[in-house]
Structure 1
């Protein structure tokens, strides 16, 4: 199979998986919105965003490092460092997740947004170690070339479980399920779910997905990796993990900071809930980019080890085209029908988020068109450039959010988030030119690379 066909096949399967997973997650959110009061859903959404941010220091760039080291070991046949890193990273993730959870719980008494919702917080924090360990397990599978196995337990299985659990807990929120149950004489409870119950169901789904992924990793390990004596290169790992962790954390903060600042600025829980729904809907436009990154990251690492600049350019160009092709229809749909779509899928009052959805959709389109420069830099050892770019985006977004959210609410948050996407992409695109001599953006399609190898 040719390189292009292999990339297309991997990206296509990954895209199908991403679509299925996001679709299931979207259905689960729609059912939750209908089954919960707006204020309860706002609390639930805030806690999810909080945990998404807290898990960053619990993994601190290690998953990206695991992909890189495992892919390099697979390329060269030297699995000793990969095995050592896998052992150390799991130990670190477990300890860091537990300490962060306990520390946040101790601080809850002093934070007004957390204190009244302590049961929800405890359940949310219980997912921290699981999420950190899950990220490392998925990274190891992707580094071993098992891109699909490295994704589907978290991308598809977990949201499917959440959807099933929510539907069973509040079946009156799903009219067809209600009708089916009545047919068999089963009386259903009213469609009312608390944020505490919703978070408990999320915790159970996370635990099941983690265990399934663990089994997949054990089965996917080659004999060479099982038999290898672990080699620990802690100094080099720490030197790489720090900028990767800072950069990755900043990148996730760029996504979640708007929700967190809305809570810190005491915006109404209903408004926070609507913005989270809008942000999750906008992620539909990022499906192609996410699928391409999952497929190409190990290839970028292997090209770096082999010194294959031409192969890196081919993969980057194809990734940019595929990402943009998938993103464009969603961005156009959000521009034309975003408000009515939100009102139809969720509550009618969610339709006010239509303009916000259009802004976020255009930001994702820009991200797709600029290509996979972040993954290329991380996989080739230029993680500091990634960190600097993401930091610039976060600072700009935070300043704009603090200035715009009090005056413009949802739209202020969306504009700040869009700037947080555009600014780092421009810097990353430039760094890919300088460090790798590669054109990552969509207009690099067909470009021929000449010059010395990497």
Structure 2
């Protein structure tokens, strides 16, 4: 590759990163604002119930995407929107709908039993009942977001990943806060969130299928190639999800809801640091897929190292701020939340490792090494669960934060070593 071509490629990547940064930064702050809006305007126990449902819905929406996220991204990045890629995508949407809708109905019918016997919080039943209808909608519009990502449409991707639903929720919450503040409780807020999910679902379907030459055409339900590819990624996605969320969900059944609210707020604040990684992945992941299909390993290595170094430079000041002034940051969420400063500092360390190791998950998944990434997550996921059970019993929510940081750190360090083994380079060097 000539110096001129390389410079042009870098300039184009920087422009895309700038658009992605603006979109994801907006999404990150709006998501942060969502949590702060809830915690500052509702009693801690009510906020804790909603945030527990919020976390559970986040986990379930990934589970019911069936590992199709990166499969869709890879197919559409490599093939564009030709008939082959479109049918793969449409079949994935059909699979998600036929599994998530019945599961949602069963979950709604048994929401009181789940709240009482799994989470040991009977008051969580009505909240879960009203949040579950958002599950199929979230699973589908997030997959549509991946399709837009393959087209390098980063702003639209961000809207259908999290910016849209957070914005609509805040508007609904703000309206109720101004007009009927006495009606604000965990149940009404759950209803607002469910309604926001349905609005974004309809918008995403119209936006995707409203494009020229895009149609919903499926010739058959079965697809062995898609099953094999998604099965590997589904296992990895679920275990990676366990690594991030096991601490909060296990704490949901072991600690009071007030402490759970502080833990959830601290985790979501620590996760702000990973928006830099998400920005880079939005632009880099389709390029990794294309470069791999073209056999351009050197191009993958250059992009991976260049982006990782940049991410470390950008995230370090944010991490230092979280480590040295965690109580000040957590005080934003309302009275009593400054006690969660230590939780923020602990989880920020795990998130720093997540960002500093680079796009290791996408490097493996976009290069056909899904099974290797799955092996990494099959170790880190159970490790996080074991640590969470032990540490929460010993130290409460502090133990949950430690378990999360350990799980995230171990997963990313192991994945980085796997990139070196399979692709022949360290993303950080």
Instruction: Report the counterpart of residue 242 of structure 2 in structure 1.
Output: 253
Look up the SS of the partner of 2:153 in the other structure: coil
| Contact persistence 2:112–2:126 (CA under 8 A) | no
Kindly state the Cα deviation for residue 351 of structure 1 after the two structures are TM-superposed: 0.5
* Match status 1:340 vs 2:328: yes
Instruction: Report the counterpart of residue 31 of structure 2 in structure 1.
Output: 25
Pairing of 1:355-366 with structure 2 (within 5 A): 355-366=342-353
Instruction: Report the counterpart of residue 305 of structure 1 in structure 2.
Output: 293
| Contact persistence 2:68–2:234 (CA under 8 A) | yes
Q: CA RMSD in A?
A: 2.1
1:153/1:432 CA distance change after superposition, 3 Å: same
| Contact persistence 1:80–1:231 (CA under 8 A) | no
Kindly state the Cα deviation for residue 129 of structure 1 after the two structures are TM-superposed: 0.7
Instruction: Report the counterpart of residue 3 of structure 2 in structure 1.
Output: none
* Match status 1:140 vs 2:129: no
| Contact persistence 1:84–1:231 (CA under 8 A) | no
1:374/1:58 CA distance change after superposition, 3 Å: same
Kindly state the Cα deviation for residue 118 of structure 1 after the two structures are TM-superposed: 3.0
Instruction: Report the counterpart of residue 7 of structure 1 in structure 2.
Output: 13
Number of residue-to-residue matches in the alignment: 419
Instruction: Report the counterpart of residue 100 of structure 1 in structure 2.
Output: 103
TM-score by length of 2: 0.92
* Match status 1:40 vs 2:46: yes
Gaps of 5+ in 2: 1-6
CA distance in 1, matches of 2:101, 2:220: 26
- For residues 71-107 of structure 1, the C-alpha deviation after alignment (integer angstroms, 9 at most, x for no partner) is 1103xxx823211111211111111111221232344
CA distance in 2, matches of 1:388, 1:220: 38
Instruction: Report the counterpart of residue 195 of structure 1 in structure 2.
Output: 186
TM-score by length of 1: 0.87
2:356 equivalent among 353, 364, 369: 369
| Contact persistence 2:273–2:351 (CA under 8 A) | yes
Gaps of 5+ in 1: 172-187, 444-454
Look up the SS of the partner of 2:155 in the other structure: coil
Instruction: Report the counterpart of residue 164 of structure 1 in structure 2.
Output: 171
Larger radius of gyration: 1
1:53/1:226 CA distance change after superposition, 3 Å: closer
Pairing of 1:55-454 with structure 2 (within 5 A): 55-74=61-80, 79-111=82-114, 112=116, 113=119, 115-171=122-178, 189-190=180-181, 193-220=184-211, 223=213, 234-265=223-254, 267-343=255-331, 345-441=332-428, 443=429
- For residues 261-307 of structure 1, the C-alpha deviation after alignment (integer angstroms, 9 at most, x for no partner) is 01222x10000000000001111111101111111110010011100
1:72/1:232 CA distance change after superposition, 3 Å: farther
CA distance in 1, matches of 2:200, 2:110: 29
CA distance in 1, matches of 2:381, 2:325: 29
1:325/1:209 CA distance change after superposition, 3 Å: farther
Instruction: Report the counterpart of residue 182 of structure 1 in structure 2.
Output: none
| Contact persistence 2:142–2:160 (CA under 8 A) | no
| Contact persistence 1:288–1:322 (CA under 8 A) | no
CA distance in 1, matches of 2:364, 2:48: 36
4+ runs of 1 displaced by more than 6 Å?
227-233
> Is the deviation greater in 11-20 or in 152-161?
152-161
Kindly state the Cα deviation for residue 234 of structure 1 after the two structures are TM-superposed: 1.3
| Contact persistence 2:90–2:218 (CA under 8 A) | no
1:19/1:59 CA distance change after superposition, 3 Å: same
| Contact persistence 1:54–1:100 (CA under 8 A) | no
